[in-house]
Amino acid sequence: MSFFPPPHPYPPDRHSGQGEVSARWRRADAPHDLVTASGSCDYLATGAGTRGDYGLYRWNMGPEPSGPGPHLHRSISESFFVLEGRVRIHDGRGWADAAPGDFVLVPEGGVHGFRNESGEPASMLILFSPGAPREAYFEGLAHLAAGGRRPSDEEMAEFYARHDTWWVDG
């Protein structure tokens, strides 16, 4: 007899045995993994560290306007959870303010964007599933913003395609 069966089966076991010491702890005061002119990013759990299951990042935005316009991803979902401040989120229909505690899930192919236009610092968690190597995307954009050589339009299109980022009007 089974009490309260789950609505969907659990995935197959990936570990057997008694368990192991394998937790990873990132302290709140650890140095940021990426610092840009408009804020910083903390790599909480990368796709490499989760065996491709997900990537989790804390994006810390300064008070100046920043963030990507409407775009989509074809192979990954992206979720936002606002921790502090106000973040404008594009949900495919338009822009709206998200406050601390607000959560937005954008499935693959969903048009979305985010930006801080509040004039105050803001922070949010960004979750990608599956865990794509988004660090190379973030670091590439930071390099460009820091005054690196400006690639041609064709090179930028290839960079965005390589990182599953497709811009849309909105």
**Domain regions of the chain by residue span:** 34-167
**In this model, does residue 149 exceed pLDDT 80?**
no
**In this model, does residue 13 exceed pLDDT 80?**
yes
What does the pLDDT average to over 131-160? 89
What does the pLDDT average to over 16-43? 93
CA dihedral (145, 76, 57, 12) in degrees, to 10, reads -150
What band does 170 get if pLDDT is binned at 50, 70 and 90? low
- Alpha carbons 12 and 95: distance in angstroms, whole number: 40
- Alpha carbons 163 and 142: distance in angstroms, whole number: 14
**In this model, does residue 160 exceed pLDDT 90?**
yes
pLDDT at residue 116, as a whole number? 95
Round the average pLDDT of the chain to a whole number and report it: 93
Give just the sign of the alpha carbon dihedral 60, 72, 48, 159.
Answer: negative
Going by CATH, does the domain composed of 34-167 fall within 3.30.1280.10?
no
What proportion of the chain, given as a percentage, has pLDDT over 70?
Answer: 98
Tell me the whole-structure pTM to 2 decimals. Answer: 0.90
Q: In 3-state terms, what secondary structure has residue 30?
A: coil
Tens digits of per-residue pLDDT, 33-83?
Answer: 999 989 999 999 999 999 999 999 999 999 999 899 999 999 999 999 999
- Alpha carbons 37 and 142: distance in angstroms, whole number: 8
pLDDT at residue 169, as a whole number? 85
pLDDT at residue 15, as a whole number? 87
- Alpha carbons 54 and 103: distance in angstroms, whole number: 17
